[in-house]
Amino acid sequence: IKKIGVFTSGGDAPGMNACIRAVVRTGIFHGMEVVGIHQGYQGMIEKKFINMDARSVRNIIQLGGTVLKTARCAEFRTPEGRAKAYKNLQEEGIDAIVAIGGDGTFTGAEVLSREFDIPVIGIPGTIDNDLYGSDFTLGYDTATNTVLEAIDKIRDTAASHDRLFFVEVMGRDSGCIALHSGVAGGAEAILLPEKETAIDDLIAKLEAGALSNKSSSIVIIAEGDKNGGAYNVAKRVKEKFNFYDIKVTILGHLQRGGTPSSFDRVLACRLGYAAVKALVAGESRKMVGLRGNEIKLTDIQEAINNHSYKLEDDLVEMAAILSI
């Protein structure tokens, strides 16, 4: 392999820049040229290529977002779009790619690799922590800490006014951020996409808390909770519950940004380094991941097929008990 292309795709996640830096420098160390592809598959189709040298990635290890930018690209889902993308890669002399993103990004990379026999390695980058084959994905630790910081601040005002706060956090299908930030923030209840929560049960829990002298409560709601989000839950609880003043906070996109945590930076470096080493070793269609603090390769197809949510049952059970 003489020239590798690296790109970020799907939702941005803190740690992507540290990962790009690791890919570029490891590639150069191994005598390869490295090309940055702007805006993921869209840039592949539009030939937005930029040569990266070791200095091109200086001072980015601490930055959130992605300097290569990211995009969602409908055209790449078509055979014509992928043929165009591959032609551009060929013209540029790119003979292997490193894709940083979620399961959609991996699906695209896998299809491209099969159609045109180009080696690809995937790096799990998504704040949702919902990829099989890695205990953690890039950005998840930072996003959870960002949410936790917000919960702590909301608690100050909740406690001062005897208020009940419903805080909505990211996670359409995965409750990882909600569960972990909720446990760490001492939430009264945590509503997850993976588990149905009956509003009457929630009200009973909140009432028991109020009657046992709780001065405030915080309920964390993952955006994919089946009750329809924080505003809907608040509205339904309000109909029957009149102990405290009820407020809603939707944390939204602030959860994606910010400077990556040390955990995410180290993970990003390890995964970027391992991805290039895997290409050097002749691997393809694999995802690099962290399992039990070791870097492991998983077939990219297996990672996609088992796209799963890894909520720890003991945390779910414990969260309910520690909040009595």
Q: Around 175, how many Cα atoms within 13 Å sit in the side-chain half-sphere?
A: 24
Bridge partners of 290, per DSSP, are 295
Q: Name which of 12 and 168 has its Cβ closer to ligand ATP.
A: 12
* Closest approach of ligand ATP to the CB of residue 43, in Å: 11
73 labeled part of a ligand binding site: yes
* Closest approach of ligand ATP to the CB of residue 302, in Å: 16
Report strand pairing: 163-169 vs 120-124.
unpaired
247 labeled part of a ligand binding site: yes
Contact 16, 8 (CB under 8 A): yes
Residue 256 one-letter amino acid: R
176 labeled part of a ligand binding site: no
170 labeled part of a ligand binding site: yes
Q: Name which of 73 and 89 has its Cβ closer to ligand ATP.
A: 73
Sheet of 189-191, strand order: 189-191, 217-222, 163-169, 245-250
**DSSP SS3 for 294:** strand
105 labeled part of a ligand binding site: yes
Report strand pairing: 33-37 vs 49-52.
antiparallel
Q: Which of 12, 128, 141, 225 is catalytic?
A: 128
* Closest approach of ligand ATP to the CB of residue 224, in Å: 13
Token reading at 306: 């088992």
* Closest approach of ligand ATP to the CB of residue 107, in Å: 4
Q: Name which of 126 and 181 has its Cβ closer to ligand ATP.
A: 126
**DSSP SS3 for 295:** strand
Task: Specify the DSSP element, H or E, that contains 89.
Answer: helix 79-92
* Closest approach of ligand ATP to the CB of residue 307, in Å: 9
Q: Name which of 9 and 216 has its Cβ closer to ligand ATP.
A: 9
Q: Is 128 a catalytic residue?
A: yes
Contact 113, 119 (CB under 8 A): yes
Helix axes 103-116, 79-92, angle to 10 degrees: 70
Q: Which of 108, 126, 128, 127 is nearest to 118 (CA)?
A: 108
Token reading at 20: 């790009």
Calpha distance 225→166 (Å, rounded): 13
Binding footprint of ligand ATP on the chain (CB under 6 A): 9-11, 41, 72-73, 76-77, 101-105, 107-108, 111, 126, 128
Position with the least CB separation from ligand ATP: 104
163 labeled part of a ligand binding site: yes
Q: Name which of 11 and 229 has its Cβ closer to ligand ATP.
A: 11
Q: Which residue has the tokens 């003979």?
A: 95
Q: Name which of 100 and 154 has its Cβ closer to ligand ATP.
A: 100
Calpha distance 38→111 (Å, rounded): 20
* Closest approach of ligand ATP to the CB of residue 108, in Å: 3
128 labeled part of a ligand binding site: yes
- Binding-site annotation: residue ranges for substrate: 126-128, 163, 170-172, 223, 247, 253-256
Give the residue numbers of the binding site: 11, 21-25, 72-73, 102-105, 126-128, 155, 163, 170-172, 186-188, 214-216, 223, 247, 253-256
Query: Per the annotation, where are the binding residues for Mg(2+)?
Result: 103
Annotated binding residues for ATP, written as ranges, equal 11, 72-73, 102-105
For the annotated catalytic residues, the residue numbers are 128
